[in-house]
């Protein structure tokens, strides 16, 4: 396939690019890190070569939209206007799909942050895809969640206009080469430095659902290949607190630091776990959290 991949240098994007190229797909990567702004492409959208872009196909078989501002909990809580830039990215993407017929099919990454925060209290349960009602949306997690809810609305409009759009809601994706802005990688970095005390934001009782990047990539490409309709949670259903994650990483590394909780730091919702039932109809997660930790700490 001819594939357009936005955010191709980001954590998810670079893993998707590798997997697509390994199976023989022709990938055009667009990323600010390479000096290429996907909004420029989407706005021009006419087959003339935008300044700085490579020669582009007139139309793609698949467009995967990974370009977004995330930056972890610090950015979500601390930079709401910066995060809102995602609204522009997504709006121009869907206009390009529909108005310019830019691709026959598309992948849109929503987020577990789109789920109602009222369902993510300490007594929380596994979130199912039907917990989001686009006709009656409930309060999501900050402007990042609102942007993703809006993106899902736009995806539905694009689907109605004739573009097949696969919508995914990733939970806490992680991997060895993730940035230190994200909890898993930050914890691994602290273990490698043998940080003592070992810092955890909040009281550490916040619960998340950790899914390895290999499972994210495999699930997405399998869903596209099998034309699985969305939205689909990318999750494992396994509830793990930040305290438990820290204990697992510390034990694997083999040292015993004191634990320090930074109670004033951003902590997010209390309980965010996904129901993976729909995903398991086409892909069952293969990388356990224990295995993911071993991989991350393998090269000391």
Q: What is the pLDDT of residues 33-57, one digit of tens each?
A: 888 888 888 887 544 455 555 566 6
Tell me the average pLDDT across 3-23.
96
What's the CA gap between 126 and 120, in Å, rounded? Answer: 9
With 70 as the cut, is the pLDDT of residue 280 above it? yes
Tell me the average pLDDT across 265-289.
96
Burial class (CB in 10 A: 0-12, 13-18, 19+), 130: exposed
Q: What is the pLDDT of residues 160-211, one digit of tens each?
A: 999 999 999 999 999 999 988 889 999 999 999 999 999 999 999 999 999 9
What's the CA gap between 217 and 166, in Å, rounded? Answer: 13
The residue among 22, 16, 20 whose CA lies nearest residue 2 is 20
What's the CA gap between 94 and 63, in Å, rounded? Answer: 10
How many residues are listed for the chain in this entry?
300
The residue among 133, 129, 141 whose CA lies nearest residue 206 is 141
pLDDT interval class at 124 (50, 70, 90): confident
pLDDT value of residue 46: 45
What's the CA gap between 152 and 108, in Å, rounded? Answer: 8
The owner of tokens 């309709």 is 229
The residue among 108, 116, 114 whose CA lies nearest residue 157 is 108
The owner of tokens 């667009």 is 30
CA separation, residue 253 to residues 8, 172, 246 (Å): 32, 22, 11
pLDDT value of residue 272: 97
The owner of tokens 């320090």 is 260
Q: What is the pLDDT of residues 152-161, one digit of tens each?
A: 999 999 999 9
pLDDT value of residue 189: 96
> 219 and 234 in contact (C-beta within 8 Å)?
yes
Convert 172-182 to b/e letters by CB count within 10 Å (16 or more is b): bbbbbebeeeb
Q: What value does the mean pLDDT of the chain take? A: 91
Convert 110-119 to b/e letters by CB count within 10 Å (16 or more is b): bbbbbbbbeb
Q: What is the pLDDT of residues 64-93, one digit of tens each?
A: 999 987 755 555 555 566 667 888 899 999
Q: Which helix (H) or strand (E) holds 64?
A: strand 60-65
pLDDT value of residue 293: 98
Q: What is the pLDDT of residues 211-249, one digit of tens each?
A: 999 999 999 999 999 999 989 999 999 999 999 999 999
């Amino acid at each position: 396939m001819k594939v357009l991949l936005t955010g191709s240098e980001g954590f998810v994007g670079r893993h998707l690019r590798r997997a697509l190229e390994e199976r023989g797909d022709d990938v055009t990567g667009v990323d600010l890190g390479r000096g290429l702004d996907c909004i420029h492409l989407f706005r021009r959208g006419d087959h003339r070569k935008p300044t700085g872009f490579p020669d582009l196909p007139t139309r793609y078989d698949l467009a995967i939209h990974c370009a977004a501002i995330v930056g972890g909990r610090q950015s979500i809580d601390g930079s709401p206007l910066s995060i809102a830039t995602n609204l522009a990215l997504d709006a121009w993407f869907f206009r390009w799909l529909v108005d310019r017929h830019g691709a026959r099919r598309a992948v849109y990454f929503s987020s577990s942050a789109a789920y109602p925060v009222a369902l993510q209290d300490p007594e929380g349960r596994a979130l199912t895809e039907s917990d989001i009602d686009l006709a009656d949306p409930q309060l999501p997690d900050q402007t990042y969640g609102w942007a993703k809810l809006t993106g899902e609305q736009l995806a539905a409009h694009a689907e109605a206009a004739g573009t097949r759009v696969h919508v995914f809601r990733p939970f806490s994706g992680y991997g060895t080469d993730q940035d230190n802005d994200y909890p898993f990688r930050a914890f691994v970095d602290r273990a490698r430095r043998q940080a003592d005390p070992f810092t955890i934001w909040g009281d550490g009782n916040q619960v998340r659902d950790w899914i390895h990047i290999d499972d994210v990539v495999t699930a997405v490409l399998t869903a596209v290949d099998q034309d699985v309709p969305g939205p689909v949670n990318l999750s494992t259903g396994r509830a793990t607190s930040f305290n438990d994650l820290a204990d697992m990483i510390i034990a694997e590394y083999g040292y015993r630091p004191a634990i320090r909780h930074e109670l004033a730091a951003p902590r997010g919702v209390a309980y965010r776990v996904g129901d993976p039932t729909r995903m398991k109809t086409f892909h069952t997660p293969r990388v356990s959290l224990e295995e993911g930790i071993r991989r991350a700490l393998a090269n000391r």
